[in-house]
Amino acid sequence: QVHLQQSGPGLVNPSQTLSLTCAISGDSVSSNSATWNWIRQSPSRGLEWLGRTYFRSKWNNGYGESVKSRITINSDTSKNQFSLHLNSVTPEDTAVYYCADLDRAWGQGTLVTVSS
């Protein structure tokens, strides 16, 4: 049973970088069958897919169009985790952020507020 545990700050200053980490238990971040996603949820945007990383003989990434120019998702095999980095944030990036394997499990969520 895969379990995802998120960590990271709940408050980010405007123009700075939002960084969150998702620790995986019950599977490997370099599994050849899993994909690891970041999604956010806000009243104005609903559920919005941000991007994913996955390993299929090599690492692959895919990003949503709305954040494509600002987002990086990477993985750390030594810690069995993957991370989200979203730069140049504005108050519109305020949301609950989730990591997920969309076929199996979601993290607990992190409310991130962008404010000075």
Partner 1 sequence: QSVLTQPPSASGTPGQRVTISCSGSSSNIGRNTVNWYQQLPGTAPKVLIYRNDQRPSGVPDRFSGSKSGTSASLAISGLQSEDEADYYCAAWDDRLNGRWVFGGGTKLTVL
3-state secondary structure of 91: helix
Of 31, 23, 27, 30, the closest CA to residue 1 belongs to 27
Which residue stretch of 9-17, 24-32, 72-80, 103-111 sits at the interface with partner 1 (rule: CB under 8 A)? 103-111
User: Distance between CA 95 and CA 80 in Å, rounded?
Assistant: 25
Q: Would you say 16 or 62 has its CB closer to partner 1?
A: 62
Q: Would you say 16 or 48 has its CB closer to partner 1?
A: 48
Q: Shortest approach of partner 1 to residue 98 CB, angstroms?
A: 6
3-state secondary structure of 105: strand
Q: Which residue is associated with the tokens 């993985």?
A: 75
Binding partner 1 (rule: CB under 8 A), the pick from 32, 43, 46, 69 is 46
Task: Give yes or no for residue 107 binding partner 1 (CB under 8 A).
Answer: yes
